[in-house]
Structure 1
Amino acid sequence: MRQYLYCESAGFVEKTEWQPNSWVNVVCPDQADFKFLTETLHVPQSFLDDVADTDERPRTEMEDNWLLTILRIPVPVHDAPDGIPFTTVPIGIMTNNDIIVSVCYYHTEMLPDFIEHTRRKNVFVRNKLDLILRLIYSSAVWFLKYLKQIYNDVNEAEKELERSIRNEDLLRMMRLQKTLVYFNTSIRGNEVMIGRLKSIFQDTDFLDVELMEDVLIELRQANSTVNIYSDILTGTMDAFASIISNNVNAIMKRMTSLSITLMIPTLIASFYGMNVDIHLDRFPHAFVAIVAASVLLSALTFIVFRRIKWF
């Protein structure tokens, strides 16, 4: 699916066909989209292949007069095999004089929201660098939005663990920790991209220093939030790991104490069960006496263990 978006005073307006200096937004491209990009706009095929790589890192690349800028943006994951709630995917912005093309192989909430935001706030995008910077800014906003959801998930998992420590809750927190690692790597990569773009456009009229500073501030806030949540999650998992270890030690201590307590009557019964003279065969209440002695010794053992808090 592709859109032809032209920026006017009231934000991006969708057109029915491509015009110079308009933004071609391509999401989940099909064969018709590939044909339009490569044959009509002459976008390098290598750029499209690079963006298709799920693990592609934020970077820039020049080929002829084309500039490829790859960013990573957050997306929610539904029914993922590993259960990760959020991940990051690459989006490529390819520019060449009066051509601006963005390609993303995944459906995202960020791009429609960004387009609607420009209309709602009457944002005017002056040039291709403005568009790239505003997309980075929007990605930082969505990182922060998803981080709030992650924080709520962490709090919910903590409450579940306080009630009963289960493997499912610990695995849930581990998946959230993995998501934070993805977010942290992508945010830092996007932040590095700012410096590269600044060096590329520093001698042009495209550079808006104030906008670039705003983008850097938002990225640093997102990066700081990721680090804080990651530290909280790491500390929480370490604390619950210690609790689990202590619980296992307590259970093993009780089991050992119980085994020792039960071993005393078992030992007595073993002695008096031997086929030898025990000098009690003529005593009328020998069985009761042996049972009473076993119970008494077990009770004394229990009291001793209770005093040293092994029970």
Structure 2
Amino acid sequence: MIQYFTTDSSELVTIDDQAALTADHRWINLESPTEDEINQIAQLFKVSNFSLSSVLQDREISRVNFGKTPQENTSILLQYPKYETSPLGYLTHSTFPIMFIISEGSIITVSNHPASFIQHFVINQSSLQETITDHENFAARLIWFITKDFVTSLDKTAVQMDLLERQLTSATENEQIYQIMAIQKTIIDFKSSLAQNQKVIDQIKQNDSLFSTTPLTKTISAVALKNEQAMTMAKTQGEILEQYSNMVSSVVSNNLNDVMKVLTSLTLIMTIPTIIGGIYGMNVDLPGAKLVSAFTLLMLFTIVVCLITYLILKKRKYL
């Protein structure tokens, strides 16, 4: 899929490919592009096929290649988060690469999977505090939305962890362990991707050929700060998950012991009527056996013994 955008009165507007060729500032977004679409963009905007197709490999690492002259393209590859469902059915996040190709008057973004931060960028333009005036501004704002999406995803992961913590108090099965595994996979992926992105952001900050104006410098500084915040959140959540993983087996074992203790106590109480009934079922003379109300008295005696046993077990916290 190919989308073409430009700015009109500080707002993003959709245009066709012919209008994109003549627009002063244009953004071309490719999502899961086919080979024909890659060839089309490569020919129209003089971009190498390799740059456009490299992100189709989901495990590409973050990097930046600065153009040696203003006429040469600059390519920036970063990682972004995306919702996924784990094989066990839990909601998780994975990270995938996205390529930014910046040239004179245009920016091209290429991703192999839908990127939610692009939707946020297009829909929530009110959050853009400055007018989008050129291709570098496009890139800087999009990169900021990537880091913001990481923080948002980690906030949602924190909510999952809070829910998991409440579930641990009554855990008796392996479900909580599987949830921890799913969240740990997300955190490990995030930590690796954020570290990769941080290296690229540092390189961008140190380079004077890109994002060199004061407003854009501030934006990139905000990006770096947001990325560091996400790295700190991921590190903290990872450490908490390690503690969860260490204690979940103990919690499950203790909860199972409590269940077994209750079941054993109930079995003991239910055994009392069987014992008493067995004794009075013997073919010998027993106290009160010849009374008219013998059965009623026997039932009352059994109930009293069961009740006393229950109270004793309750007092000793077996029930």
Aligned residue type for 1:192: K
Deviation at 1:151, TM superposition (A): 1.5
Tell me the TM-score normalised to structure 2 length: 0.70
1:41 equivalent to 2:41? Answer no
Give 1:215-234 correspondences, 5 Å limit.
Answer: 215-234=223-242
Please tell me the root mean square deviation across aligned C-alpha atoms, in Å: 3.0
* Match of residue 191, structure 2, among 184, 187, 206: 184
Aligned residue type for 2:121: F
Aligned residue type for 1:234: E
Which runs of at least 4 in structure 1 moved beyond 6 Å after TM superposition?
Answer: 245-248
Contact (CA 8 Å) 2:105, 2:134: kept in 1 or not? no
Deviation at 1:75, TM superposition (A): 0.5
1:10 equivalent to 2:10? Answer yes
Note the residue ranges of structure 1 that are not aligned, 5 or more in a row. 255-310
Identity of aligned residues (%): 19
* Match of residue 109, structure 2, among 98, 102, 106: 102
Contact (CA 8 Å) 1:11, 1:121: kept in 2 or not? no
d(CA) in 2 for partners of 1:148 and 1:93? Answer: 26
Contact (CA 8 Å) 2:61, 2:196: kept in 1 or not? yes
Note the residue ranges of structure 2 that are not aligned, 5 or more in a row. 262-317
Spell out, residue by residue over 1:94-122, the C-alpha distance to the aligned partner (whole angstroms, 9 max, x if none): 12222311011111221011122225646
d(CA) in 1 for partners of 2:89 and 2:114? Answer: 20
Aligned residue type for 2:192: T
SS of 1:55's equivalent in the other structure is coil
Aligned residue type for 2:185: K
Spell out, residue by residue over 1:281-302, the C-alpha distance to the aligned partner (whole angstroms, 9 max, x if none): xxxxxxxxxxxxxxxxxxxxxx
User: Which segment is superposed worse, 92-101 or 112-121?
Assistant: 112-121
SS of 1:164's equivalent in the other structure is coil
d(CA) in 1 for partners of 2:27 and 2:115? Answer: 17
SS of 2:167's equivalent in the other structure is helix
Contact (CA 8 Å) 1:177, 1:233: kept in 2 or not? yes
- The alignment covers a number of residue pairs equal to 255
Contact (CA 8 Å) 2:92, 2:183: kept in 1 or not? yes
* Match of residue 221, structure 2, among 193, 200, 213: 213
Determine the structure 1 residue equivalent to 2:123: 116
Tell me the TM-score normalised to structure 1 length: 0.72
Contact (CA 8 Å) 1:84, 1:178: kept in 2 or not? no
Deviation at 1:126, TM superposition (A): 3.5
Contact (CA 8 Å) 1:12, 1:119: kept in 2 or not? no
User: Which segment is superposed worse, 170-179 or 233-242?
Assistant: 233-242
Deviation at 1:247, TM superposition (A): 7.6
Aligned residue type for 1:58: S
SS of 2:124's equivalent in the other structure is helix
Deviation at 1:89, TM superposition (A): 0.7
